[in-house]
């Protein structure tokens, strides 16, 4: 089954404790992206990757890191999480570019930073 998977689905952590949210897709997509979704603010792009070893900042990159060492994986790293990073996070992929009509989203990771 073609899908984007994320882990963990739910995470409660404390300020300053490094964490990684994993994302994997099995569709051989070149483009992958991370979003956060907050009430009233909608989906905001954090980082994106056009291909392996090619990443770039989205609209809200502060406090986040990413890497793209393999085509299928695109982990999101919070080196020192803070309460304002409490949010619902989505990983997405598309076949070729970020402007592609269809992006495939993972199920989401709900992060709470205390």
Partner 1 sequence: QKEVEQDPGPLSVPEGAIVSLNCTYSNSAFQYFMWYRQYSRKGPELLMYTYSSGNKEDGRFTAQVDKSSKYISLFIRDSQPSDSATYLCAISSYNTDKLIFGTGTRLQVFP
Hey, what are 57's tokens? 């900042």
CA distance 66 to 21: 10
Q: Does 106 interact with partner 1 (rule: CB under 8 A)?
A: yes
CA nearest neighbour of 32 among 88, 85, 95, 78: 95
**Complex with partner 1: residue 45 or 85, whichever CB lies closer:** 45
**Which residues, 14 to 73, sit near partner 1 by CB under 8 A?**
33, 40-43, 45, 48, 50, 58
Q: Does 11 interact with partner 1 (rule: CB under 8 A)?
A: no
Residues of the shown chain interacting with partner 1 in the complex, contacts defined by CB under 8 A: 4, 33, 40-43, 45, 48, 50, 58, 90, 92, 97-103, 105-108
């Amino acid at each position: 089954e073609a899908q984007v998977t994320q882990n963990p689905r739910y995470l409660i952590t404390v300020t300053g404790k490094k964490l990684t949210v994993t994302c994997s897709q099995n569709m051989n997509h070149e483009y992958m992206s991370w979003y956060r979704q907050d009430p009233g603010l909608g989906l905001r792009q954090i980082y994106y990757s056009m291909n392996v070893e090619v990443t770039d900042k989205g609209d809200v990159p502060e406090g986040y890191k990413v890497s793209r060492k393999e085509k299928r994986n695109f982990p999101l790293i919070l080196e020192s999480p803070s309460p304002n990073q409490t949010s619902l996070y989505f990983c997405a992929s598309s076949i070729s570019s970020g402007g592609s009509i269809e992006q495939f989203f993972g199920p989401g990771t709900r992060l709470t930073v205390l």
